[in-house]
Copies of this chain bind each other. A is one copy, B any other.
Amino acid sequence: MRPLIGLLIILSLVLSAGLLFAEDQVQKTNPPSQAEQHAAAQPASAAAAPAPKLDTGDTAWMIVATAMVMLMSIPGLALFYGGLAKRKDSLNTMAMTFVTFCIVSLLWIFYGYSFSFGADIAGLIGGGEKLLLRGIGPNSISDLAKTIPEYIYVVYQLTFAAITVALASGAYIERMKFSAWMLFTILWFSFVYIPIAHWVWGGGFLARIGALDFAGGTVVHINAGIAALVGALILGKRNEKALMPGNLTLVVTGAGLLWFGWFGFNAGSAVAANGIAGAAFINTNTATAAAAVSWMLVEWIHSKKPTVLGLASGAVGGLVAITPAAGFVNITGAIIIGMAAGIIPFFAVAMLKPKLGYDDTLDAFGIHGVGGTLGALMTGIFADPSINEGGKGLLYGNPGQFLTQLIAVGTTVLYSGIVTAIIFMIIKAVVGLRVETEDEIIGLDESQHGERAYNL
């Protein structure tokens, strides 16, 4: 009960601060938000900025894409992570993703969408004019998605926010208090995800300098990966450090659902049923396959056996790395990014982690942080203007793009790293971070929820 009360207090504070700030902003008139990342994903003819008009085909695709990205969290990620957790921690691991999706779903409606995608304020944050979706109705269409109902765009973006937070949990499981995790969700979503989403996609300063991030390399994966690393360091090591997957059939199931849903994530980021969506789709599938195979081969050589977990991990690594690049690179770029994404995260996980000694339970940093960085930088190299005129990489005569990508990555790493650390300090003070050692040994399913995954 105590942690519950703490949680509720924090929640009200965040909420009222947000609303006050909003009241303040709504007074001023803001220029319409800049054409941004996703607009760049539209074909050339769209550049003439036609009046927003609903297209049933685009709408059909984006409704489904939104549902697909939702599926990535529950049950996709919940299964992928839940199956990798020890048997006695699997439900708690699934609950972390589940509760995060629910909390973010509400906060996104309350203030997340407005502060991320409201009219830009100084390149830093969105305005408060859309708090609680004020002014949005069934006929509204956003400037950022000119052919679909704004309602769909709101939920589409919501699903990205939710999974980003949930991804970080992979580094914290098997020891973190459930109440601490909920508090983390509220704070990190509010103070880390929202601003970065605004910077890159909402017309903020990273959008203005031209950083390319098709579907979320920086906003989602680097961001979550850094939070994972910092959090794992502050939380400290688990009592039993082994990775002892409770149920690998769930992991394969989760990986499959993630792959499926990721088509909504990446191809959906074209915000239309068009050729860019097609390019993002084929690049996603190709890079994922390349990464799964290359992870498996490296593992076969390095550890003597090809594992199913390796195939699944490689696939996720490939999905992560192709995310920022999906709508910008050509098929050769996708193959190269995919191959790199099967090899570099493998070594991050197998070599770097033991050396640095942090305890990132499910390698959220090794796969999302490293894979996301890889993808963001390689986008700066391989972005092919004949695929998408909105992006031109080093290989196509624009070395500046690589620098821009570096800046975007650096900014995200710094901001996410520092604010995550502060948030962990606050949580430690308010409800505490870790469960008791005995509760950890007994398992978090029993100690946090009073449940067991299986009565077999």
* Contact B98–A285 (Cβ < 8 Å): no
* Contact A86–B249 (Cβ < 8 Å): no
* Contact B102–A455 (Cβ < 8 Å): no
Q: Is the interface of A mostly helix, strand, loop or mixed?
A: helix
**Complex CA distance for A220 and B87, rounded to whole angstroms:** 37
Contact for A256 among B55, B75, B106, B288, CB less than 8 A: B75
- Kindly provide the distance from the CB of A339 to the nearest chain B CB, expressed in whole angstroms: 10
Contact for A151 among B67, B133, B282, CB less than 8 A: B282
**Complex CA distance for A253 and B150, rounded to whole angstroms:** 29
A456 on interface, CB distance cutoff 8 Å: yes
Which B residues are CB-close (under 8 A) to A378?
Answer: none
* Contact A308–B64 (Cβ < 8 Å): no
From A57, which residue of chain B is reached at the shortest CB distance? Answer: B56
Which B residues are CB-close (under 8 A) to A59?
Answer: 57, 61, 273-274, 277-278
From A7, which residue of chain B is reached at the shortest CB distance? Answer: B297
* Contact A151–B278 (Cβ < 8 Å): yes
* Contact B246–A277 (Cβ < 8 Å): no
- Kindly provide the distance from the CB of A76 to the nearest chain B CB, expressed in whole angstroms: 8
A311 on interface, CB distance cutoff 8 Å: yes
Interface residues on A, range: 35 or more
* Contact A74–B255 (Cβ < 8 Å): yes
A31 on interface, CB distance cutoff 8 Å: no
Contact for A82 among B152, B249, B290, CB less than 8 A: B249
Given contacts A137-B386, A285-B155, A300-B4, contact A273 B454 (CB under 8 A): no
* Contact B57–A98 (Cβ < 8 Å): no
- Kindly provide the distance from the CB of A54 to the nearest chain B CB, expressed in whole angstroms: 7
- Copy number in the complex reads 3
A222 on interface, CB distance cutoff 8 Å: no
**Complex CA distance for A260 and B454, rounded to whole angstroms:** 24
Given contacts A94-B249, A137-B387, contact A451 B103 (CB under 8 A): no
Which B residues are CB-close (under 8 A) to A76?
Answer: 256
Per-residue CB proximity of A437-456 to B under 8 Å, as 1/0? 00000000000111111111
Per-residue CB proximity of A307-318 to B under 8 Å, as 1/0? 111011001000
Q: Could you show 29 A-B contacts with beta carbons less than 8 Å apart?
A: A4-B300, A56-B56, A56-B60, A56-B273, A59-B277, A61-B64, A63-B278, A74-B252, A76-B256, A87-B456, A90-B249, A94-B308, A99-B292, A133-B331, A137-B275, A137-B279, A138-B275, A138-B279, A149-B279, A152-B278, A152-B281, A155-B282, A155-B285, A244-B455, A247-B453, A249-B454, A305-B448, A308-B449, A308-B451
Q: Known contacts A63-B267, A63-B278, A137-B275; can you find 13 more A-B pairs with CB under 8 A?
A: A1-B301, A56-B61, A57-B273, A91-B249, A95-B311, A105-B286, A109-B282, A109-B331, A138-B387, A139-B275, A150-B278, A155-B285, A306-B449
